[in-house]
Amino acid sequence: MTDPVQLTADLIRCPSVTPEEGGALVLLERVLSDAGFECARADRGDVSNLYARWGKKGHARSFGFNGHTDVVPVGDEAAWTKPPFGAEVHNGVMYGRGTTDMKSGVAAFAAAAIDFVRETPPDGAIILAITGDEEGDAVDGTTALLDYMDQADERMSVCLVGEPTCPNQMGEMIKIGRRGSMTAWFTVTGVQGHSAYPHRAKNPLPAMARLMDRLASHELDQGSDHFDASTLAVVNIDTGNSATNVIPAQCTGAVNIRFNDLHSGASLSEWLQTEADAVAKAFDVAIEIKIKISGESFLTPPGPLSDLVANAVKAETGIQPELSTTGGTSDARFVKNHCPVVEFGLVGRTMHQVDECVEVAQIDQLKAIYSRILTDYFS
């Protein structure tokens, strides 16, 4: 049997901080190739990506796993009580950057896939799409893998992303969608002047304050059938002005919006522009906007795929998982354009933290869940 705990430890010892490959994908390619998977690299730019398939190309039925081996920076290494790339186990807990997010998830689904095809070769294909660029800009990661699959006429029928999804207890939550995410940067330009003569200047600060207040005070919605209410957070206001006797000529600000399926990036962009135009006119200043849409909201409606995963989770944990769309973004936002996708993985309490860690027993449990999902899917 393939040991997911040992494979997790081996991956943790690969210092794959985005965008460094760190040896993690090289290790997985070797392990999967030895098990009979056909592997190909789908690298793009400075990003390393691995595609692995067991089964005939173009088979009508294929189950896909998606995940990432890149990790966020360690931060202050002196604050760690265990080596961040040591994979040390103490009292049944493994420590290291990526233990939770998400090398243990990758190890669990790789181990489950390897053992499954060895023991009961399925009538179909199993596909593993693993990127080294989820924690970064994600421009050349899973999107590059999906582009490679399109060009190679490869396809997943359904996909499970192995991100940590459980808030506190193993098995309590499956993600069936994600909110959209976008950031807008505003530059308000007026006329610089002396603070003793404000009538001779056009102060951009009151305009920025009014705009931020209008945006933050606006109720975007009250939620939808499967999503909480959309949120807007003011994340920056800055002038760079340290002089109290000068009215600055320019001020910048930014907001981040997490939105549900009642909106699109385009509709919210139009609303932001309308609000900015109204404030610019009222204060006789110029307001420029730069917008980045990181991902649109999406939903995989409850049905066969979520039932498949939920039944396996309950069988292995005794817990009926909640179907949720909470949290930030993930690479599922790209996969959803390719095939139906859900997410299930470990408890994510320590992800991105100092002394990130995972209970060793949870890694074995996660492999068992993934194994049962494969068995039930191909039965």
Would you name the residues annotated as active-site residues?
A: 70, 134
326: buried, middle or exposed (CB in 10 Å: 19+, 13-18, 0-12)? middle
230: buried, middle or exposed (CB in 10 Å: 19+, 13-18, 0-12)? buried
Strands 177-178 and 93-95 come out as unpaired
d(CA 127, CA 146): 12
Q: Which amino acid does the sequence have at 28? A: L
- Give the H or E element holding residue 39: strand 38-41
Residue found under tokens 């095939």: 339
Torsion angles phi and psi, residue 68, rounded to 5: -140, 150
Angle between helices 265-283 and 204-217 (to 10 degrees): 140
Strands 231-238 and 250-259 come out as antiparallel
User: Rounded to whole angstroms, what are the CA distances from 324 to 36, 166, 172, 299, 313?
Assistant: 35, 10, 10, 10, 15
- Give the H or E element holding residue 214: helix 204-217
Residue found under tokens 């582009």: 147
Chain-centre distance for alpha carbon 71: 12
d(CA 374, CA 368): 10
